Structure 1
Amino acid sequence: MGQTVNYSGAVCAVKNSTVTLPCTFKPFESLIEDGRQVFPQVIRVRWCKNHEICQGTTPSVYNSDSKYNDPRYRYLGDMKGNCTLQIRNVKMADNATLRFRMELNYSTGHFTGRSGVVVRVVEGTQMRIKGSSDGGMMREGETVTLRCTSACTFHQLEVTWSRNDRDLQEFGSALQLGPLTAEDSGNYTCGLKKNPRTRSLPYMLHVQPVETVNKGIKVDNLRIVQLVLFTVHTVCIIIVAYSVIKRTCV
């Protein structure tokens, strides 16, 4: 079976964020060299930008043989089958097609995944908050999860949160609140720490105190009782009136 490199597909990345490019590869399990079967090993891996072959003296964003790789590019893979690459502090210059190349201890086994992965960098995309409950209306004692989402990918640990324009200590793409109290009410926003242009529109969360809820239930029940009594009273009056009128006529 031939060699392969599989990419995750095109990626949209937000400037100043961190993005991960999932990637897997499979080298030859065996080769025929000088008439005999050999079992090659991967001795070097590389990632290049905007180069179809990524070989020779082609500049690399990552080279396993080099000690001078750009620190913004972190190789999360290995020499066996994982070629995942992470780009930190994404810049507009990262708007490119990146390709992975594996090199074996036999030159006939060198291989580049030519399809590559296209990275599209945007200056800023506004985040959006989605709540686990509809409408942002909650009651004391309940729990709710707010999620910070975007059309582009981003590293979840870079997300910051605020309530009523005051920064919260929590970080990450999901903010879990609960058991809720009335103090949790307010306008929540999220965004990337290094890119203020991504700040979301406010998400209004209103936590209703238990006493208010119970009071509302009691009021509703009282109104129902009053309505029933009024109806019964009205029916009784009609019956009495009908009886009187009938006797008078007779």
Structure 2
Amino acid sequence: MNSRSAARGFLAFLLSLPALQGEVGYAVGCTSKTVCALKESTVDIICTYNFPKKDKELNVTQLWHKGKKHKAVSLTKDADYEGRVEYSCGEISCIENSCNGTCALKIKNLTQSDSAEYMFSFIINRKSGKFSGDPGVKLSVTDQVMVSFASSTDPTRANMTCHSMCSPTGGFKYNWFRNGQCVEQGIYYKGNISSKDNYSCAVEGYKRLHSPLVYVPKTPSVTVSPSGEIVNGSSVTLSCSSDANPAADYTWFKEHEDSVGRSGQNYTITNITSELGGNYCCQAHNAIGRHNSTCFYIHVTETSSLTSFIVRIVVVSILVLATILLVFLFHRTTRASREASGLGEAAEMVGEVEGEVRDRNADF
């Protein structure tokens, strides 16, 4: 294809865009409707524009602005962009009855507040001579860098991928860090994983844009509810927790047995029996490793200590009452015996006195 045919094809593309402000032959087309860029980086947004050749001799001004065309204020006059924006507009060329040009907007040292819709307008020095591309180009600025994981059957090795939210499948160069020290370059990290280390990645040249740290679960802790004595027939819940990123999943085990077949942070045993007692452990695991807890021993008693205490109190109370009753009866019986013995002695004394009286009467 010769240059003339190519130019005609490009012109046909521009003329296929919607006419601006209802006039035929005026158009703006941009290379992309959405652009994503990293915080602190530089972005270029490029648009082309077309107008009739009859306007070539008039003064044509290019303008980049933020938001809709009726609020058009050049970014070069916006204090938020001072020293950070540049226009780069090429020569206007004309073919047959149409002219076209290209204009690029460069924004440096991007901030997240730069996320907005940017529009290109060209102004021709005549009445109603302002034409804008609508909609404009939506720019998204992100500082998010993430680590994703491929499935692995080896708990000591990891297969990790670094990507930014702007480029899920690559497009940047990345550095990998272990405990804050750069250890590898590239989009992938494949290697042995230590439970004592943490890992992260960053876009090369943007070290401050780190992904969150990822690491193997720390040693899990196990708690039980309710705490204290566990009685036969009651319900008990075991809970497992571990510091991990990505977040850990949990599997429960009973010592010297296979998995109890339960997954999840909590494990509840209803209607527990002494046979279900024993040492219970949990395993915390995520995409890059796993760690087992120390075991928690569950002792199941037939009755609760409270019940045993109450029974002992009742028995002791009965014994005390029985003792008091026996003492009372003993004292009562003793008193009755003493009173009966006193009456006999009195009767005997009366008999003796009566005998003496009779003897004296007989002497007289």
Structure-2-length-normalised TM-score: 0.37
Larger Rg: 2
**TM-score with structure 1 setting the length:** 0.50
Q: Of the two structures, which has the highest relative contact order with CA contacts closer than 8 Å and spacing of 6 or more?
A: 1
